[in-house]
Amino acid sequence: MKNRIQTVQNNIKDACEKVGRIESEVTLIAVSKTKPLEMLQEAYALGMRDFGENKVQEMVSKVEQLPKDIRWHMIGHLQKNKVKYLAESVYMIHSLDSVDLAKEIQKQAEKVNRIIPVLIEVNIAGEESKFGVSPENVEALAREVSKLPNVKVKGLMTVPPIQVEESDNRKYFSALRQLSVDIKQKNIDNIDMDVLSMGMTDDYPSAVEEGASYVRVGTGIFGHRIYKTEGER
């Protein structure tokens, strides 16, 4: 795992150098979904502090058993009735995709007296099967969320289509960045557009070149996942 993390970090560094970015602008999230505690502990010992999970129950159980200085990122689709379980522990929710969900986050964040940072998940390629709002609806959602004092939009997130070639997703990363620039120019109160969460094991170098601030790498750090049920990735 040490070598894998080193490789990912080197690739991030190279991608930054290629386009004149500073390495510290990019944070590597270790996507630890389905992986046992021991592997997260190993990654922690190797210096990882940002972990990504896509299931609330799994995240909460890991939160309880791992060091308190870990930043937990919810990167999977979030159901309203589960928000209450992670309101206290989540560092950032990357998958805000509706006003209703934002209102529930507001309610639960208020209860625990905090402001929860969120990213709006954008279905940038317009895939039918994907979560996330379509690019043309992002601004309207941002304007609604801007009224909620305990929910703070920090930027955008996307999961582009699965591709064979790395370079194929570059246009989607670039489109997400452009969308964030467009929305930033609207100067919506209480809305930041400084964070872009994009890039996974197969395509994070091009995401970094296109401006990613978070890359979400699972397989590249922990190896392949084995699922008990179908229909997940």
Ligand X SMILES: *Cc1c(COP(=O)(O)O)cnc(C)c1O
Q: What residue ranges bind ligand X (CB under 6 A)?
A: 31, 33, 54, 75-76, 159, 200-202, 216-220
Shortest reach from residue 29's CB to ligand X, in Å: 8
The nearer residue to ligand X, 8 or 179, going by C-beta atoms, is 8
Least separation, in Å, of the C-beta of 197 and ligand X?
A: 8
CB of 203 to ligand X, least distance (A): 9
Q: How many CA atoms lie within 13 A of 196 on its CB side?
A: 26
Query: For residue 83, how many other CB atoms are within 10 A of its CB?
Result: 23
The beta-carbon contacts of 121-127 under 8 Å, at least 24 apart in sequence, are 121/94, 121/95, 121/96, 121/97, 121/156, 121/157, 121/158, 121/159, 122/156, 122/157, 122/158, 122/176, 122/179, 123/158, 124/158, 124/160, 124/172, 124/175, 124/176, 124/179, 125/160, 125/161, 125/172, 127/161
What pairing do the DSSP bridges indicate for beta strands 71-74 and 116-121?
Answer: unpaired
Helix (H, G, I), strand (E, B) or coil at 88: coil
**Separation between Cα atoms, residue 187 and residue 149, nearest integer Å:** 17
Comparing CB distances to ligand X, the nearer of 191 and 215 is 215
Give me the least distance between CB of 31 and ligand X, in Å please. 4
CB of 219 to ligand X, least distance (A): 3
Nearer to ligand X, 54 or 108 (CB): 54
**Residue with Cβ nearer ligand X (148 or 195):** 195
- Which residue is nearest to ligand X, using beta carbons? 218
Q: Based on CB atoms, which residue is closest to ligand X, 135 or 199?
A: 199
Closer Cβ to ligand X, 148 or 216, answer by number: 216
CA 67 to CA 204: how far, in whole Å? 27
For the CB of residue 149, give the shortest distance to ligand X in the complex, in Å. 27
